[in-house]
């Protein structure tokens, strides 16, 4: 099957979803690995898990004939196999190759998912060459295998994978003692019971392999032989894990290691207790050795519970949730229609029935709002998922730039709509790139200024009312306002710089084509930066503000709505027409008369406290001829997107209400100032204003 | 003829779905899916299983350990086992054969070949010792 024609089948969709998951996990594990490479403490499990990820991906991609992904994953797997088998040392250079390969892998998956016909063979070949360059011919292993002396039972040795054999040798080389731990558990609960034991073991050594075996009661029980490497003595290990059904034996010579100094600490009773406390049903076996093993009851609650616990999550296409949300939205509207009819009935004298119906409608409304909340919660994901991606980027860029940067995260569990999280990822990445590129000074400059040589970027997120705020703060040089002003003058963005305040000047960096750095860097110096950031954030009804102090650093504050699925809107009327304004962009509304409006250079403005605000009349904007007299008193709705503010003159404020924005379709796409339509529930459909678009257009024509 | 049961052990949901589709196409087989070695161990005693397809690289216990257990347990020692894994782990495959795996299928494989193998093993009334 050709790669293109296959892109839309269900199986391929499943593949892409799983591949994406694997690649995402690979990313965070590679980051961990990189930390370990730096500290020199390699955890074999992490390396093995990365290997398994690449391995699975290769197998899957091969089945679907996605040869590019399969080839790249195959070569990564090769390299990782050498690493995990100890044939290679993990160097920073090798780490860089792995990061690059991972980056390319995720690009390949993205390209496949988008169904584009992009040939990446050249990139893949280049990456594969780089990977292969890391593979040196393996050294001949000399001497007898240390495993011979160990006296490992043949049935255990026979089932060891090459990797497990290597882990065993490595443990021996590190002077650890090898133990076998024999367990016998009930068939219905063995996995939870076994994990209690392995958790205890992992606290003081490495579990090399877990071999299931046949014991005396093969119909009711399953036995395991755990191969375990540790510096502990046999006695300590015995007191830690040994029970009725768990026995420990030492393999090979019983020479005690030089100093069993690590022994007592990990086994403090609190540790054991902590693990026991968090354990699930089977803990009783550990806590109370006297408890007889439960008899086999395949239909007992325990058995059902443990069988179910395997997969507690469901993967759902976000499109399906959108559909569900739409239906919920329509139900809410249908319900308000019923409430409207009820009120009418009461007014017309069907009071008894009207009251009954009113009660029913109220009950329905409550349940509907629960339903709405439920569906909304399904869409929510913690923003922490992005953090992993960010730390990858920071590592990559700081490596390229030769700057040392510490990344700190706060509020990883703040939740946001999945789609918003996806859309905010690029702008955040760009701001971070910018902070490393332009914000954080080189190490020597920092030391000269008395700052820590290592720069810090702090990302924090928190909920604030109906919004989520994400702050990205660096401790670099801050934005040089004078430099920004000069640049603006140079580029002809302003003619007179004296009239521009510092605050306004900072906003220049959001203009297209603006870049203050003399040297164009690979990542963020192409001058396509901040205006794209701003537009992307505006597109999801967000705002971005900057606070900066010269020499101390800058802070980008992004304010986002929690969800876009159902939004609160302000319903307004102007020239006999009704419109909805997303409440997220409404800052305040003021009652005014004609006297409050001034005209400066043929543009209407209003005074808002200390500042002046450009005023827009919707009837002018949409070119509607008024059929009625304009009211003497009218409202000015102050709207803001990002850092721009605008007053919109409207005849009347009608209500605030939840709306579901529906797209107008391609034929209406070119109409400016409208972002979609919404149903008001009384069979009326109204247009929703695109505040971001309106503000941009007004500002442009105004300057 | 009562239908026979095949147990599929693989930690990749996509791979399982693919194997299920391949087996389904053959018609008359019951399928049990296990997403890990542990789950396979837990599911085995519940039904009579006639054939096992297993991956090597799985979390908790791997395919080799699973085969070793099957071959030492009198209840399961005669169930045919196919290893379904990618090439590359040559040493592990060799071990699998020594442990008593009946067939080894290399990913990527042709569904037809797997189907032929399954039919060959399951249409016999008793297992043929190879």
Would the pLDDT of A192 be above 80? yes
Reference A207, options A275, A149, A160; nearest CA is A160
pLDDT given at position A6: 44
How far is B72 from A269, CA to CA, in rounded Å?
38
CB contact under 8 A, B65 and A298: no
- Cβ under 8 Å to B: A residues 551-580: none
Please give the tally of structural domains in chain B.
Answer: 1
Asked if the C-beta of A222 comes within 8 angstroms of chain B's C-beta atoms, the answer is yes
Q: Does the reported pTM lie above 0.95?
A: no
How far is A494 from A507, CA to CA, in rounded Å?
12
CB contact under 8 A, A62 and B35: no
Task: Check if the beta carbon of residue B24 is closer than 8 Å to that of residue B54.
Answer: no
| Residue B130 covered by a domain | no
Distance of CA A225 to the CA centre of its chain: 39
Residue of B nearest to A12 (CA): B14
Task: Check if the beta carbon of residue A63 is closer than 8 Å to that of residue A51.
Answer: no
ipTM of the complex as predicted: 0.85
CB contact under 8 A, B64 and A160: yes
More confident residue, B58 or A252: B58
Residue of B nearest to A210 (CA): B61
Interface test with B, best of A161, A220, A299 (most B CBs within 10 A): A161
DSSP A503-519: HHHHHGGGSTT----SS
CB contact under 8 A, B42 and A306: yes
How many angstroms separate the CA of residue A161 from the nearest CA in chain B? 6
DSSP A533-577: HHHHHHHTT-EEEEEEETTTEEEEEEEEES-SSSEEEEEEEETTE
Asked if the C-beta of A160 comes within 8 angstroms of chain B's C-beta atoms, the answer is yes
> With 0-12 CB in 10 A as exposed, 13-18 as middle and 19+ as buried, what is B112?
exposed
Would the pLDDT of A21 be above 50? yes
Residues of B in contact with A191 (CB under 8 A): 38, 42, 60
Task: Check if the beta carbon of residue B43 is closer than 8 Å to that of residue B69.
Answer: no
CB contact under 8 A, B64 and A77: no
Domain that holds residue B30: 4-122
| Residue B97 covered by a domain | yes
Share of chain A above pLDDT 90, in %: 8
> With 0-12 CB in 10 A as exposed, 13-18 as middle and 19+ as buried, what is A332?
buried
pLDDT given at position B8: 94
| Residue B127 covered by a domain | no
Taking residues A504-520, what's their average pLDDT?
67
For the stretch A649-686, pLDDT in tens is 999 998 888 777 777 777 776 677 888 888 776 668 88
How many angstroms separate the CA of residue B38 from the nearest CA in chain A? 7
Asked if the C-beta of B110 comes within 8 angstroms of chain A's C-beta atoms, the answer is no
How many angstroms separate the CA of residue A187 from the nearest CA in chain B? 7
How far is A608 from A590, CA to CA, in rounded Å?
9
Task: Check if the beta carbon of residue A643 is closer than 8 Å to that of residue A598.
Answer: no
CB contact under 8 A, B15 and A60: yes
CB contact under 8 A, B108 and A160: no
> With 0-12 CB in 10 A as exposed, 13-18 as middle and 19+ as buried, what is B37?
buried
What backbone phi and psi angles, to 5 degrees, belong to A576?
A: 80, 0
By three-state DSSP, how is residue A299 classified? coil
Q: Are strands A685-689 and A577-582 parallel, antiparallel or unpaired?
A: parallel
How many angstroms separate the CA of residue B9 from the nearest CA in chain A? 13
| Residue B84 covered by a domain | yes
pLDDT given at position A412: 86
CB contact under 8 A, A211 and B86: no
Q: Are strands B81-86 and B51-54 parallel, antiparallel or unpaired?
A: parallel
Task: Check if the beta carbon of residue A415 is closer than 8 Å to that of residue A551.
Answer: no
Residues of B in contact with A59 (CB under 8 A): 12, 15, 85-86, 107-108
Mean residue pLDDT of chain B comes to: 86
| Residue B129 covered by a domain | no
How many angstroms separate the CA of residue A188 from the nearest CA in chain B? 7
CB contact under 8 A, A211 and B95: no
Asked if the C-beta of B99 comes within 8 angstroms of chain A's C-beta atoms, the answer is yes
pLDDT given at position A143: 53
Q: Which residues contact B12 (CB under 8 A, 6 or more apart)?
A: A18, A56, A59, A60, B55
The C-alpha angle B48, B53, B59, rounded to 5 degrees, equals 105
CB contact under 8 A, A191 and B38: yes
Taking residues B110-119, what's their average pLDDT?
90
Residue of A nearest to B91 (CA): A162
For the stretch A437-471, pLDDT in tens is 888 888 888 888 888 888 899 999 988 766 788 99
How far is A128 from A366, CA to CA, in rounded Å?
59
Asked if the C-beta of B107 comes within 8 angstroms of chain A's C-beta atoms, the answer is yes
B64 closest CB neighbour out of A59, A159, A190: A159
End-to-end CA distance of chain A, in Å?
56
pLDDT given at position A268: 41
- Residue tagged active-site, from A75, A171, A245, A434: A434
Taking residues A544-572, what's their average pLDDT?
84
How far is A53 from A59, CA to CA, in rounded Å?
10
The verdict on whether A77 is a catalytic residue reads: yes
- Residue tagged active-site, from A29, A48, A75, A77: A77
How far is A515 from A494, CA to CA, in rounded Å?
15
A18 closest CB neighbour out of B14, B64, B85: B14
pLDDT given at position B97: 86
Q: Which H or E element spans position B53?
A: strand B51-54
DSSP A5-67: GGGGSHHHHHHHHHHHHHHHHHHHHHHHHHHHHHHT---HHHHHHHHHHHHHHHHHHHHTT-H
Would the pLDDT of A145 be above 70? no
Task: Check if the beta carbon of residue A178 is closer than 8 Å to that of residue A251.
Answer: yes
CATH number at B31 reads 3.40.50.2300
pLDDT given at position B126: 43
Rg (CA), chain B: 13
Would the pLDDT of A617 be above 80? yes
Residues of A in contact with B98 (CB under 8 A): 158
Mean residue pLDDT of chain A comes to: 79
Residues of A in contact with B36 (CB under 8 A): 310
Residues of A in contact with B57 (CB under 8 A): 52, 55-56
Residue of B nearest to A187 (CA): B42
Taking residues A481-504, what's their average pLDDT?
77
Task: Check if the beta carbon of residue A385 is closer than 8 Å to that of residue A421.
Answer: yes
Side-by-side strand order, sheet with A611-617: A586-593, A633-641, A644-650, A611-617, A603-608, A597-600
Eight-class DSSP state of B126 = S
For the stretch B59-102, pLDDT in tens is 888 889 999 999 999 889 999 999 998 866 677 888 888 889 99
Reference A479, options A515, A438, A443, A514; nearest CA is A438
| Residue B128 covered by a domain | no
Residue A701's pLDDT band, with cuts at 50, 70 and 90, is: low
B13 closest CB neighbour out of A18, A65, A70: A18
Asked if the C-beta of A134 comes within 8 angstroms of chain B's C-beta atoms, the answer is no
Cβ neighbours around A130 below 10 Å, total: 16
| Residue B109 covered by a domain | yes
More confident residue, A699 or A547: A547
Reference B51, options B26, B28, B30, B74; nearest CA is B30
Inter-chain Cβ pairs, chain A and chain B, closer than 8 A: 115
How far is A582 from A565, CA to CA, in rounded Å?
12
Question: How distant, in Å, are the alpha carbons of A72, A479, A551, A553, A555 from that of A446?
Answer: 40, 16, 10, 12, 18
Would the pLDDT of A516 be above 70? no
Residues of A in contact with B41 (CB under 8 A): 187, 190, 212, 222
The verdict on whether A434 is a catalytic residue reads: yes
More confident residue, A687 or A527: A687
Residue A397's pLDDT band, with cuts at 50, 70 and 90, is: confident
Reference A509, options A538, A480, A536; nearest CA is A480
Taking residues A246-271, what's their average pLDDT?
54
- Cβ under 8 Å to A: B residues 15-54: 15, 17-18, 21, 35-39, 41-42, 45-46
């Amino acid at each position: 099957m050709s790669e293109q024609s296959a892109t839309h089948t269900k199986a391929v969709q499943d593949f892409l979803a799983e591949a994406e998951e694997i690649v995402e996990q690979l990313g965070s594990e590679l980051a961990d690995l990189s930390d370990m490479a730096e500290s020199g403490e390699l955890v074999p499990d992490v390396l093995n898990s990365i290997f398994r990820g690449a391995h699975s991906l290769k197998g899957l991609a091969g089945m679907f004939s996605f040869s590019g992904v399969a080839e790249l994953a195959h070569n990564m797997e090769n390299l990782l196999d050498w690493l995990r088998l100890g044939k290679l040392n993990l160097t920073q250079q090798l780490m860089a190759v792995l990061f690059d390969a991972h980056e390319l892998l995720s690009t390949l998956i993205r390209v496949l998912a988008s169904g584009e016909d992009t040939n990446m063979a050249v990139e893949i070949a280049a990456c594969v060459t780089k990977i292969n360059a890391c593979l040196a011919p393996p050294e001949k292993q000399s001497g007898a295998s240390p495993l011979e002396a160990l006296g490992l039972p043949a049935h255990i040795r026979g089932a060891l994978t090459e990797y497990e054999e290597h882990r065993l040798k490595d443990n021996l080389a590190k002077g650890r003692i090898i133990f076998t731990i024999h367990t016998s558990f009930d068939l219905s609960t063995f996995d939870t019971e076994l994990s209690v034991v392995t958790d205890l073991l992992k606290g003081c050594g490495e579990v090399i392999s877990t071999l299931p075996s046949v014991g005396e009661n093969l119909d009711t029980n399953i036995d395991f032989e755990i191969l375990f490497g540790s510096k502990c003595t046999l006695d300590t290990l015995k007191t830690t894990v040994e029970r009725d059904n768990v026995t420990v034996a030492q393999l090979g010579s019983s020479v005690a290691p030089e100093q069993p100094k690590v022994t007592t600490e990990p086994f403090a009773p609190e540790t054991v207790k902590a693990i026991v406390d968090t354990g699930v049903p089977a803990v009783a076996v550990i806590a109370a050795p006297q408890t007889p093993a439960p008899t086999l009851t395949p239909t007992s609650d325990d058995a059902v519970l443990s069988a179910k616990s395997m997969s507690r999550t469901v993967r759902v296409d976000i499109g399906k949730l959108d559909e569900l949300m739409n239906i919920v939205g329509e139900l809410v509207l249908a319900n308000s229609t019923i409430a409207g009819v009820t009120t009418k009935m009461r007014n017309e004298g069907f009071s008894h029935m009207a009251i009954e119906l009113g009660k029913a409608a109220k009950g329905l409304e409550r349940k509907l709002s629960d339903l709405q909340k439920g569906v909304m919660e399904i869409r929510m994901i913690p923003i922490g998922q992005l953090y992993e991606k960010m730390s990858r980027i920071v590592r990559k860029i700081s490596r390229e730039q030769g700057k040392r940067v510490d990344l700190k995260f706060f509020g990883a569990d703040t939740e946001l709509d999945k789609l918003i999280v996806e859309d905010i990822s690029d702008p955040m990445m760009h701001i971070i790139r910018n902070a490393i590129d332009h914000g954080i000074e080189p190490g020597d400059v920092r030391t000269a200024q008395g700052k820590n040589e290592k720069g810090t970027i702090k990302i924090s997120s928190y909920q604030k009312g109906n919004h989520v705020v994400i702050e990205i703060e660096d401790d670099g040089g801050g934005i040089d306002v004078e430099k920004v002003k000069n640049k603006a003058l140079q580029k002809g963005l302003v003619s007179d710089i004296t009239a521009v305040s510092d605050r306004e000047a900072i906003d220049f960096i959001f203009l297209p084509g603006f870049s203050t750095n003399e040297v164009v860097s690979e990542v963020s110096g192409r001058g396509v930066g901040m205006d794209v950031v701003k537009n992307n954030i505006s597109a999801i009804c967000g705002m971005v503000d900057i606070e900066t102090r010269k020499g101390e650093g800058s802070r980008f504050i992004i304010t986002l709505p929690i969800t876009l699925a159902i939004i609160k809107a302000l319903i307004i009327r102007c020239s006999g027409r009704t419109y909805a304004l997303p409440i997220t962009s409404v800052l305040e509304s003021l009652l005014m008369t004609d006297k409050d409006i001034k005209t400066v250079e043929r543009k209407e403005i209003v005074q808002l406290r200390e500042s002046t605000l450009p005023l827009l009349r919707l009837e002018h904007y949409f070119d509607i001829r008024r059929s009625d007299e304009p009211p003497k008193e009218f409202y000015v709705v102050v709207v803001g997107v990002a850092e721009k503010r605008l007053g919109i003159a409207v005849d009347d404020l009608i209500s605030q209400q939840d709306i579901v924005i529906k797209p107008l379709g391609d034929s209406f796409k070119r109409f400016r100032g409208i972002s979609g339509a919404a149903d008001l529930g009384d069979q009326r459909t109204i247009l929703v204003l695109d505040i971001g678009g309106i503000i941009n257009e007004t500002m442009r024509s105004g300057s | 003829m009562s239908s026979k049961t095949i147990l599929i052990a693989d930690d990749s949901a996509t791979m399982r779905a693919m194997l299920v589709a391949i087996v389904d196409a053959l018609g008359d087989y019951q399928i049990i899916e296990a997403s890990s070695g542990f789950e396979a161990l837990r599911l085995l005693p519940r039904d009579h299983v006639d054939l096992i397809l297993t991956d090597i690289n799985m979390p908790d216990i791997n395919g080799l350990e699973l085969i070793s257990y099957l071959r030492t347990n009198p209840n399961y020692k005669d169930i045919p086992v196919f290893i379904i894994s990618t090439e590359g782990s040559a040493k592990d495959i060799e071990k699998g054969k020594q442990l008593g795996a009946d067939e080894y299928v290399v990913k990527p494989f042709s569904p037809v070949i797997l189907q032929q193998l399954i039919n060959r093993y399951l249409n016999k009334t008793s297992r043929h010792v190879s």
